[in-house]
């Protein structure tokens, strides 16, 4: 169950840490967000180290569908109502800047970068599409209502956003990370003040960035109630269709479409990690119905940290934190949000005010309906009598029969059948 990106790119390898060391900035986590932070600090001449518990991009990044877009579902109408016009514009401008950064970097990188129009469609609600277009017009964006799409089903309408992009994420990372200061197989076990403790040495830093997908420090920030993880699925089909664009359903459990070479990637049909879902079954039924001559070349799954309000948490780890930063909660838009994280955090570390930081502040209000849902799920699973417990906060694990894993419905940690850790926020294997 490897993604198309893993099959078509060999990974770089870096040594593990073997002694105590010091640096200005320690980045914990070697996914796209951590790598981009390291790259930006490297370009700025700021001393840094990046440590990764396994190998770089071996977690969520390798399973992305690799869309680079400011078009994150029907988000802008929602942001205007939640935060007001100014902060909605901050979100738009931050992601626009991120897209431009990728565009500039990829001019000199062989990573299959392609500019494509992005479409957010609805199968049954034209008013939702029209409201989003009005919201984008308020933000100064010239978009287009589209009625007909090259998809195998009718839609009520779609918002077209031109000049977005897609790429091969592992080719990109391989190109930009060659000269970076990276230690693999170096797990941070705990943080004491400004010192990170690993199995083979201590790292003392002036500042730290936690870019571990789901933050592993529970004492501050309340991320265990501010987020949950959502698992979704991807098929890569041969002999399917060239849709010539990026397509995203506005519905929570809808599907996305994009091409990579001669493959059609269909994603979606997700569910909260640890809960029952159809896995690839619905996607395969869809493919059989609408693309009967297609053949499945690859299939894989991924999961995303979902925030209370649909906006990532990027900035100081908690209120008044002066040297500890976080990048998390990318809500299925990890590629663009990773670049946004690098832009914001590298400014903050250098003492510069960033024009986008307010809307992404991890200390913003948590008073949203999803908070009650997250708290309820946690309490229920904490009280569920079951011998296998997640070492993160003790929730009862659920067996995933199709992927043969133990999954945590509280916060999304996952383990192999024999108890080895797959996905955080847990930091260790299950007890035997």
At the fourth CATH level, the homologous superfamily of domain 4-64+171-225+310-360 is: FAD/NAD(P)-binding domain (3.50.50.60)
* pLDDT(139) > 70: yes
Residue in 231, 267, 260 with CA at minimum distance from that of residue 403? 231
- Give me the residue spans of the domains in the chain: 4-64+171-225+310-360, 369-423
Mean pLDDT of all residues in 133-156: 96
Confidence of residue 432 (pLDDT cuts 50, 70, 90): low
User: What are the pLDDT digits (tens) for 279-327?
Assistant: 899 999 999 999 999 999 999 999 999 999 999 999 999 998 889 999 9
Q: What is the mean pLDDT of the chain?
A: 94
Q: How far is CA 372 from CA 219, 308, 367, 379, in A?
A: 20, 10, 9, 11
Confidence of residue 431 (pLDDT cuts 50, 70, 90): confident
What sign does the CA torsion over 351, 352, 353, 355 have? Answer: negative
DSSP 190-251: EEETTEEEESS-EEEEEEEEE-SSS----SSTTHHHHEEEEEEEEEEEES-----SEEEESS
* pLDDT(267) > 80: yes
Q: Which of 121-125, 153-157, 172-176, 376-380 has the lowest mean pLDDT?
A: 376-380
Q: How far is CA 191 from CA 17, 168, 203, 227, 273, in A?
A: 16, 34, 9, 22, 28
| pLDDT at residue 264 in the model | 98
What sign does the CA torsion over 5, 7, 8, 11 have? Answer: positive
* pLDDT(344) > 90: yes
* pLDDT(381) > 90: no
Confidence of residue 385 (pLDDT cuts 50, 70, 90): confident
Say how far apart CA 369 and CA 309 lie, in whole Å: 9
Say how far apart CA 328 and CA 312 lie, in whole Å: 6
Domain made up of 369-423: CATH architecture: 3-layer Sandwich (2.102)
């Amino acid at each position: 169950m490897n993604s198309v990106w893993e099959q078509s790119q060999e990974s770089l390898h870096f040594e593990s840490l073997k002694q105590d060391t010091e640096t200005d900035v320690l980045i914990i986590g070697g996914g796209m967000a951590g790598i981009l932070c390291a790259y930006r600090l490297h370009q700025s001449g700021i001393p840094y180290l990046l440590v990764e518990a396994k190998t770089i991009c071996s977690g969520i990044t390798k399973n992305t569908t690799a869309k680079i877009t400011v078009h994150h579902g029907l988000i802008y109408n929602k942001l205007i109502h939640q935060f007001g016009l100014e902060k909605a514009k901050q979100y738009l401008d931050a992601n626009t800047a991120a897209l431009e950064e990728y565009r500039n970097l990829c001019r000199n990188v062989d990573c299959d970068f392609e500019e494509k129009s992005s479409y957010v469609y609805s199968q049954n609600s034209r008013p939702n599409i029209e409201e989003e277009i009005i919201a984008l017009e308020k933000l100064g964006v010239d978009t287009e209502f589209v009625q007909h799409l090259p998809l195998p089903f009718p839609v009520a309408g779609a918002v077209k956003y031109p000049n977005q992009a897609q790429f091969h994420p592992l080719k990109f990372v391989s190109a930009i990370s060659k000269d970076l200061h990276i230690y693999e197989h170096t797990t941070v076990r705990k943080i004491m003040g400004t010192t990170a403790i690993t199995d083979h040495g201590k790292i003392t830093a002036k500042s730290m960035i936690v870019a571990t997908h789901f933050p592993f420090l529970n004492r501050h920030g309340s991320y265990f109630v501010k987020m949950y993880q959502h698992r979704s699925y991807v098929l890569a089909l041969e002999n399917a269709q060239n849709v010539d664009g990026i397509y995203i359903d506005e519905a929570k459990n809808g599907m996305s479409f994009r091409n990579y070479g001669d493959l059609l990637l269909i994603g979606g049909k997700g569910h909260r990690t640890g809960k029952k879902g159809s896995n690839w079954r619905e996607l395969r039924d869809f493919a059989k119905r609408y693309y009967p001559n297609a053949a499945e070349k690859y299939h894989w799954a991924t999961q995303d940290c979902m925030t209370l309000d649909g906006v990532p948490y990027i900035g100081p780890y908690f209120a008044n934190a002066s040297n500890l930063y976080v990048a998390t909660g990318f809500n299925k838009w990890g590629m663009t949000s990773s670049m946004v994280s690098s832009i914001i955090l590298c400014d903050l570390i250098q003492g510069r005010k960033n024009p986008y930081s307010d809307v992404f502040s991890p200390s913003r209000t948590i008073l949203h309906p999803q908070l009650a849902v997250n708290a309820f799920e946690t309490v229920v699973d904490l009280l569920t009598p079951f011998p296998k417990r997640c070492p993160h906060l003790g929730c009862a694990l659920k067996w995933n029969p199709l992927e043969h894993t133990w999954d945590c419905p509280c916060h999304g940690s996952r383990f192999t059948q024999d108890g080895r850790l797959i996905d955080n926020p847990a930091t260790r294997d299950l007890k035997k």
